[in-house]
Amino acid sequence: MTVMTETAHGPWSATTRFRHDGIATIGNVPLMEIVHRFGTPLYVIDETDVRLRARAYRAALPNAEIAYAAKAFLCRAMASWLSTEGLSLDVCSAGELAVARSVGFPAARIIFHGNAKTPLELHLAVEQRVGRIVVDSVDEIHRLAALVPAGQRQKVLIRVIPDIEAGESAAVRTGGENQKFGLSVATGGAGDAVSRVLRQPRLELVGLHCHLGSQITEVEPFERAARAMVEHLAGVWKTHGVALPQLDLGGGHGIAYRPGDSRLNIEAFADRVTHAVEERAAGLGLPVPRLIVEPGRAIAGTAGVTLYRVISVKKGLGHTYVAVDGGMSDNPRPALYGSRYQVRLIGRTSHEGDREVTVVGHHCEAGDVIAEDVPLPADIHPGDVVAVAATGAYHHSMASTYNLTCRPPVVAVGQGKARLVVRRESMEDLTRRDVGL
C-alpha cells in the first residue's frame, strides 16, 4: 500500500515528512519511535538539515568565511558536523570554547566574542590560540595584550556599532547606539580602540566586526551595514595607513517559524551584500575585505523539533488549554520575545476538524505558554504527542532547570538512525550540584 506523504519544509527540517497515516518522520525515522526510545519532552535535531544549510551558505558565499554562532545550539556532535563542513565557529563563552575544543574543532577557525569576557575567558582564548578575538571594550585591550606570550601575536577584530537598528524584538537588537555591545564611532570610542590595538605589538588587528540583531528577514539593513562598515575600514586606512583584510557582519539571519513566515533569502543576501562591499570599497579605493558572516539560527533553527506529551486538556471560558510535559524551561522564547510557533499532532490521525487551542507548559507561571491560539485536532487528549517546529536554535541553549525540572535530551537523526547526543538531565544531576546542609 502506498501511503501519501506530505513534504513539510517551511518551518520543518529538510527531511521531515508527514504521512497521511499519521506517521511523522525525520530522516526516515518515525518520531514516535524516538519518543518510545527516549521519552518526552525531547529535542530532535536533523543532522542532514544542519549540513544542507551549512553547504548552502558555503555555496552562496564561496569567498566568505561562514562562522556558525555556537550560542544558537552547540553540543559535541554539532561542533564536529560543522567542522567537517568546513565552517568556522563563533563562540562567546569559555563553555562553548571547551565543548568545541573537546572534539578538536580547529582553534584557528574559532572567533571569540563577548561584551565582557572574563579574565579566565581571555586567558583560555589566548592559551587555546583561537583564530580571532573580537575586542568589545577599550578595557580589554591591555588586558588581552598582557596575556599574549612573547613571540606570539593574537589576531583581533574590533566590534563597532554600525548604528543600524534591526531585529525581531528590542531584546535582540544590537546594532544601535543605546545598547551594551560594540564601540561607538560617534563618541570616538571605536577610533580610540583601533589606535590602541595598533600600538600593541602582541595584537594584530585584522578587521572590524558588527552585529545588527537577530531574526532579520530583509537584506536591506545588512546592505546598509556593509556599506557603513566599509566606510569605517576606509577611515582606519586613511588615519593609520592600514587596509584591514576582514569584515565580519555578524549574524541575525531570520528563519520561518510558521508556514507563511518570511525568512532571509540567503542567495539574495549573498549577492547584494557582496556587491555592496565591492562597490563601496571600489568607490573608496580600498582593497576588498574578506567577508565573515555568523549565522546561528539560520543553520540550527529549522533542524530542530521539540516533542511533548499532552498531560491534560482543560476547557476555559475563553481558551482551551492543552498542557504538555515541558514548557518555558525548554522554550522561554514566547515569554521573552512573544515568539509564535507551529504545533502538530503526531503519532495518530484524527478525523476531527481543527480547533484553536493554547498549548501551555507545566511550570508554575501563567506566562508559561508555548503556542497561543494554534489549530490542533478537536479530539486532542492526554497521551497524545505534539511536535513544535523550528526549535533547533536558542531552545536547548537557553533551557533552564526552572521549578527544578530536568533539561530534555537531544537526539540526532542522521544516516537513517536516531542517536542520543545530549542525555536527559537526571534528578541526580540536580541534587549533586546542591552540596547541601
Q: Verify whether residue 75 is a known catalytic residue.
A: no
- Interface residue with ligand LLP among 11, 175, 182, 295 (CB under 6 A) is 295
Q: Residue 11 or residue 296: which is nearer to ligand LLP going by CB?
A: 296
The DSSP secondary-structure symbol of 357 reads E
Among 101, 109, 113, 117, binds ligand LLP (CB under 6 A): 113
Instruction: Please spell the DSSP secondary structure of 102-149, one letter per residue.
Output: HTT--GGGEEE--TT--HHHHHHHHHTT-SEEEE--SHHHHHHHHHSP
- Interatomic CA distance for residues 204 and 216, integer angstroms: 32
Closest approach, Cβ 328 to ligand LLP, in A, equals 13
Q: Establish if 175 lies at the interface with ligand LLP (CB under 6 A).
A: no
User: Whose Cβ is closer to ligand LLP: residue 198's or residue 398's?
Assistant: 398
Place of cell 481558551: 319
- Cell digits for 258? 510558521
Nearest CA to 311 out of 296, 295, 322 is that of: 322
**Residue matched to cell numbers 541575525:** 252
| Nearer CB in complex with ligand LLP: 31/74 | 74
Closer to ligand LLP by CB, 27 or 289: give it.
289
Cell of 191: 577610533
Catalytic residue from among 75, 92, 364, 406: 364
Out of 11, 27, 251, 408, the only residue in the binding site for ligand LLP (CB under 6 A) is 251
State the burial class of residue 427 (Cβ atoms within 10 Å of its Cβ: 0-12, 13-18, 19+).
exposed
> Which residue lies nearer to ligand LLP by CB, 53 or 333?
333
Q: If you write DSSP's letter for every residue of 226-292 in order, what string do you get?
A: HHHHHHHHHHHHHHHS----EEE----B---SSTT-----HHHHHHHHHHHHHHHHHHHT-PPPEEE
295 is in an annotated binding site: yes
Q: Are strands 16-19 and 290-293 parallel, antiparallel or unpaired?
A: unpaired
Asked if 221 interacts with ligand LLP (CB under 6 A), we say: no
Helices of type H across 285-351: 297-300, 333-337
Of residues 324-343, which lie at the interface with ligand LLP (CB under 6 A)?
333, 337
User: Is 37 annotated in some ligand binding site?
Assistant: no
Specify the residue, 263 or 280, whose C-beta has the smaller distance to ligand LLP. 263
Q: How many CB atoms are located within 10 Å of the residue 31 CB?
A: 25
Query: According to CB under 6 A, which one of 69, 219, 244, 413 is a site residue for ligand LLP?
Result: 69
Distance between CA 408 and CA 78 in Å, rounded?
17
309 binds ligand LLP (CB under 6 A): no
Binding-site member from 109, 253, 344, 362 for ligand LLP (CB under 6 A): 253
Contacts of 182 (CB under 8 A, 6+ apart): 115, 136, 159, 160, 161, 174, 190, 210, 211
Residue 333 annotated in ligand binding: yes
Nearest distance in Å: CB 168, ligand LLP: 7
50 lies in the binding site for ligand LLP (CB under 6 A): no
* Contact set for ligand LLP, span 81-110 (CB under 6 A): 90
Known binding-site residue numbers for substrate: 297, 333, 337, 365, 394
Cite the active site residues.
364
Site residues for ligand LLP per CB under 6 A: 69, 71-72, 90, 113, 172, 211, 214-215, 250-253, 294-298, 333, 337, 393-394, 398
